[in-house]
Structure 1
Amino acid sequence: MDAIVDKQPGAPTTAVAVVSPDPPPLIRLTSEEREVYDYLCARLREAGIEHLTAALPLAVIVRTYADWLVAVRKCEDEGRTQQARSGWHSPTPWAEDEKRLKMELGQWLPKCCLTIPSLTRVRKEAGVDNRQDDLFGELVGHAASSPARSSHH
C-alpha cells in the first residue's frame, strides 16, 4: 500500500499517525479526480480523522463531485430550463442531474466526516476537544489553595 501518512499538526511526536488509503482498485480516477481524492484525504489527516477504510466512499464522493461540477458548468453555459414548442418551460436534464448530484453529495459528505457538523460529532464522541471552558475554575482554584482564614462574621 502506498498510503500517505501524516501526523496531526502540532501533535506530539508520540501521536499516532493518520494513514490515508489508496483509491480502490478498478476505479480509474482521472488526474483531476485523483487531485480531489488527495485533497480530501489531506484534510481528513489534518483533522486527525481515521479514514484508512474509507477509500470506497471517498472515491464515490470524488466521482459524484466531478459529475456535479460538469452539470453545474453545463447549467452555466446552456441554462437550466428548456422551452417546448408549446411554450412550456421545463428543467434541462443536466439541471436535474445537478440537483440530484448535489443532494447525493449532501448525503455522502457527512458519512466521511467531511462536514463541520459531522466532524464536531465525531470529535465529541471521541472525547477530542470535549471540554467546556470553566469560567470560574481559576478563581475557585485560587480560593481553594489559599490558607484558611477565620470568618469574622
Structure 2
Amino acid sequence: MNKQLAIGSDHAGFAYKEMLKPWLEAQGYQLRDFGAYSTDSADYPDFAHPLAAAVASGELPQGILICGSANGVCITANKHQGVRAAIAWLPELASLARQHNNANVLCLPARFVSEEQAREITTEFLNTAFEGGRHQNRVGKIEC
C-alpha cells in the first residue's frame, strides 16, 4: 500500500491541515504539504491546483484538500484530468466516494465538521477500496 499523501488547504482549512498532519504521520503516511502555511488570507486555487496536478500525474496517489466549505478546492481540483475530488462531511460519503467513484482527492469542509469528524472522514477515505465492477464503467465515462 502506497503511504504517500498530498495535503493542502487555504487559510480557512489551515488549522485542520495542521491537526491532521501529525495524526497521519503517526499512521505511517509520508506527507507532501502544498500549503497554506498560515492563517493569512489566501486563494484556494494556489494550493488546490499544484496538489491536483501531483495526483493527476501519478506523482502522489491521493490527496486531501481543506477549505471552509470544501466547494472551492473541490471545484478547482476537478479541473485536472484524472482527478476525482469529492466533498465529504460524513464518513459514509467518503466511503461511497471511494467505493463507487474511485475518488482520489478528499475535500473536507473545515467550517462544517469537528476535528474528530475530520479524522473519521479521512480514515474512511484512506481505508476504503474502489469496488470496481459496474462502477469502473461509470468512472471510465467521467473524463472528457
TM-score, normalised relative to structure 1 = 0.26
Name the structure where helix makes up a greater proportion of residues.
Answer: 1
Larger radius of gyration: 1
TM-score, normalised relative to structure 2 = 0.28
